[in-house]
Amino acid sequence: MSGEARRRRLRALVRLAGVKVVGDLDTVERAFTHESFVKEHGGESNERLEFLGDSVLGFITASWLFERFPGDDEGALTVRKARIVNDPQLAQTGRRLDFAAVLAIGAGMRNAGGTDNTSILADAFEAFVAALFLRYGIEPARRFVEGEHIAQLDHAAESLLDAKSRLQHWAQEHLGATPVYKDESRGTPQKPSFSSVVSAGKKKLGSGEGLSKKAAQQAAATAALQNLETRKVRETQKH
């Protein structure tokens, strides 16, 4: 993408924060400059902006949650905050807003799929929030985070927990037991593959596979929840 085309995209992103007069784009451009690009071309990467943006994002998110969920205690608010600011969620927003079109990354990293890398996209999101804060103030940064990220997420209580957490809550409530995962490595160092079987109270609940032990356990927990839901539907139909 040419320099002017990239700057038009950057101006459009800034306007999502309610900024009418965009002005100088140096800080915003730096927010989308990955260290791999700097190593090849020089300049300054987005790492320092990412550091600041992490705190600005956390403050905006915590403030929003504090006002929106007055009945939640600290633990519940912490879980909600983690759900909002984790890398996969930030990266998903970055994909929706086509951050790939404005990311400046090194040739090697680009060839390796860097423009869709979750960590790179999440870092760029945080850096962009910092750029908005530094260049235009806290309110534009808040409008961007709340409107383009937080408002797009599902804030229902059940959506806040991953499959393993939800399964653990169910097993402790209904079986009085904690799920146990039996893992097995099936792959090679070059092509890792894991399988996991989850059980609770001597009952096998589900199994799954993944490229890592954690992924396999999540897959097993997801399968277990699906099995439990199917069983619940069948029992309802009998009655």
Distance in angstroms (rounded) separating the CA atoms of residues 20 and 35: 30
29 is catalytic: no
Q: Alpha-carbon distance 218 to 94, whole Å?
A: 24
Task: Determine whether 116 is an active site residue.
Answer: no
Bridge partner residues of 198 (DSSP): 181, 206
Residues 29, 50, 54, 123: which is the catalytic one? 54
The catalytically annotated residue of 29, 50, 123, 126 is 126
Burial of 23: CB neighbours in 10 Å, binned 0-12, 13-18, 19+: exposed
Q: Is 43 left (phi over 0), alpha (psi -120 to 50) or beta?
A: left
Query: Measured between alpha carbons, how far is 205 from 223 in angstroms, rounded to an integer?
Result: 8
Q: How far apart are CA 38 and CA 47, in angstroms?
A: 11
Collapsed DSSP state (helix, strand, coil) of residue 17: coil
Active-site annotation, residues: 54, 126
